[in-house]
Amino acid sequence: MKAGYRKRLVERLLQNLRVGRELKIGLLGAISMLSESWADAKKEMIQNCFRHAGFPMPGDHTPNSGSIEDTAGVSAEVWNELAEFPGAIDGSTFVEFVSANDDVPIMGQLQDEDYIADVVLTTSQSDSNMEIDDGPLPTSSEVIMHLRWSGAIA
């Protein structure tokens, strides 16, 4: 999905440069490109993402596939075309564009204090749940009477 978004972003920038429009992309435009990228997501792409994250599919022996162009969504030729416009990419290379957020953590690392706080919170929540008194349980004859009344049994 990220590759599809990058591709649409570069194409939009190129289109704006060709017609002389401002390079700014608004929130609505970004959401639209994101929505289009999600709509184009294929089953194989999602499976490959799970494989890449270390969750192989059962019975799957397919290695991670994808060249740098596949993961970027943008070809080097399109990037070079964008680079021809002065000031469009401020000297960034294609590889820098593709790997711009490779080092961004996708989740934080929990410390011991975080685990302890989570356990204490869960324990206190379960203690408060045990204090709830729902009253006496209905007898079996009351249950049958209500089931007959609701039409669930004849």
User: Which pLDDT does position 44 carry in this prediction?
Assistant: 84
Q: What is the 3-state secondary structure (H, E, C) of 93-117?
A: CHHHHHCCCCCCCCCCCCCHHHHHH
Whether 105 is covered by a domain: the verdict is no
Closest CA to 7 of 101, 86, 79, 91: 79
d(CA 148, CA 154): 6
Domain assignment present for residue 83? The answer is yes
For the segment 38-93, what is each residue's pLDDT rounded down to a tens digit? 898 888 888 887 887 788 777 766 655 554 445 556 777 887 888 787 777 777 77
Residue-wise pLDDT tens digits, 105-142: 776 777 788 878 888 876 666 555 556 667 888 899 99
Its domain, for residue 48, covers 2-98
3-class secondary structure, 134: coil
User: Residue 118 has what pLDDT?
Assistant: 80
pLDDT of residue 69: 44
pLDDT of 74 reads 73
In a domain, 112, yes or no: no
Q: Is residue 48 part of a domain?
A: yes
CA atoms of 23 and 25, how far apart (whole Å): 6
The Cα 114–Cα 9 span in angstroms is 38
The reply to whether 38 falls in a domain is yes
Residue at 108 is within a domain: no
Residues with Cβ within 8 Å of residue 89, at least 6 apart in sequence: 79, 82, 83, 97
**More reliable by pLDDT, 45 or 27:** 27
* 27 is a domain residue: yes
- Mean predicted confidence (pLDDT) in 3-17: 85
**pLDDT the model gives residue 72:** 57
d(CA 117, CA 17): 52
Structural domain tally of the chain? 1
Q: 61-97 burial by CB neighbour count: b if 16+ within 10 A, else e? A: eeeeeeeebebbbbebebbeebbeeeebbeeeebeeb
